[in-house]
Structure 1
């Protein structure tokens, strides 16, 4: 059922997207000169559902959100590794397996991450900055019956939407240095990689650690 739930909300081919909104701190050009190692946190994921069908519990939904959050973390790290190998970035990225091991060793669960400030997380992880993100999945369906139909037949139409955000916070004060908001929408037929690919393809053009 958990795997089906993943397909239910997230099997989306991103055919179109609203124009991105980008924020960058005025002093980031000077601040980033001190940054050498950046960690990528598991993404915060929210699957919006007003009512769940019979057989789908809140715990199942939360498990799916957590699994998807770690999946996006790995996808983004993989993308960054390719760019680093091409000498496109001025920083390196901490291996996500190390990031997660350190967090686990500090007894910081996925659900606990939002209770910590970004500077606290940077200190715990031993990095100069952190990349974090959020993905909110939504459907124009308001009841469990519609969700149940989607589970059974795998048909969701062409109005899926995913609001995604990727941010960079520096490690000394935890200040927000860069933020990229993007909304993607499309039709059924793909996977989590569609979201990460769409997000990184667009945000990487303006990623602040990109060498000029």
Structure 2
């Protein structure tokens, strides 16, 4: 189904002057948004496409065997899976934190379910992070007891570690691929299952980013178009 919304983004958001931000938002079914009272935030779907030299360098002596190489590959993949999951739940919590902080000054017409309750309800219903996309909106509504779900999908493309990338950028006069973070945040109506709001955000440049920073950027940049405002 969806795990779409919207990254420990294992990346801290330190943006240089050359970083670029592009974002768009669209209310697809405005009338459905007016009926929502309680909204749950789901763990993000996270994809990491990056290389860290310390993770891929063989530290042993001599030529590594095929068994050693295979074990190293498995360790790398397991680490990536663990990091994606960690980032997914961190983004879920940080997004709630940012929405609640903004709500204190600019009240929304809805309440956001505490993520601990959301995750506990999902667990009791047998819905896990790995099978979340396999469940219908009706099943999510039955498990969560909410009117809508806010979800997110984030992808980090980091072709090289920041230090190496910056050095090569200078040496090659900007010809190497830049780091890029793409995030899509969506709201689905539980009753109809329809996608009712969508926000796409892209960051390109010299990025080193964490979930709290990304969540703050998403909430700030979507503030004018985010639904549920008075």
TM-score w.r.t. length of structure 2: 0.75
What does the per-residue CA deviation read over 1:117-168, in whole Å, with 9 as the maximum and x for residues that have no partner? Answer: 2332122100000000010000234xxxxxxxx4xxx725353210001100
In structure 2, the CA distance between the partners of 1:23 and 1:163, relative to structure 1 (3 Å rule), is same
Q: Is the 8 A contact 1:17 1:182 kept in 2?
A: no
Higher relative contact order (Cα pairs below 8 Å, separated by 6+ residues): 2
**Aligned-residue RMSD, C-alpha:** 2.3
The equivalent residue for 2:41 is: 40
Q: CA deviation at 1:199?
A: 1.5
Question: Where does residue 155 of structure 1 map in the other structure?
Answer: 163
Which residue is 2:97 aligned to?
Answer: 78
Q: Does 1:23 align with 2:26?
A: yes
Structure-2 change in CA distance of 1:190 and 1:23 (3 Å): closer
**Is the counterpart of residue 121 in structure 1 residue 140 in structure 2?**
yes
Shift, 1:32, TM fit: 2.2
- The normalised TM-score by structure 1 is 0.81
Report the CA distance shift for 1:166/1:190 in structure 2 as closer, same or farther (over 3 A): closer
Structure 1 unaligned runs (5+)? 1-5, 142-149
Shift of 1:44: 0.5
Give the equivalent residue in structure 2 for 1:146.
none
Per-residue deviation, 1:112: 1.1
Gapped runs of 5+ residues in structure 2?
Answer: 1-7, 59-71, 167-177
Kindly indicate whether the alpha-carbon contact (under 8 Å) linking 1:135 and 1:163 is maintained by their aligned counterparts in 2.
yes
Deviation, structure 1 residue 189 = 4.8
The answer as to 2:203 corresponding to 1:202 is no
- Post-superposition, which runs of at least 4 consecutive aligned residues in structure 1 deviate over 3 A? 14-18, 49-52
Looking at structure 2, the residues matched to 193 and 204 of structure 1 have their Cα atoms a distance apart, in angstroms, of 16
Considering only CA atoms, is the larger Rg found in Structure 1 or Structure 2?
A: 2
CA deviation after TM superposition for structure 1 residue 17, in Å: 3.3
Equivalent position SS for 2:223: helix
Q: Provide the aligned length of Structure 1 versus Structure 2.
A: 192
Partner of residue 178, structure 1: 197
Which residue does the alignment assign to 1:106? 125
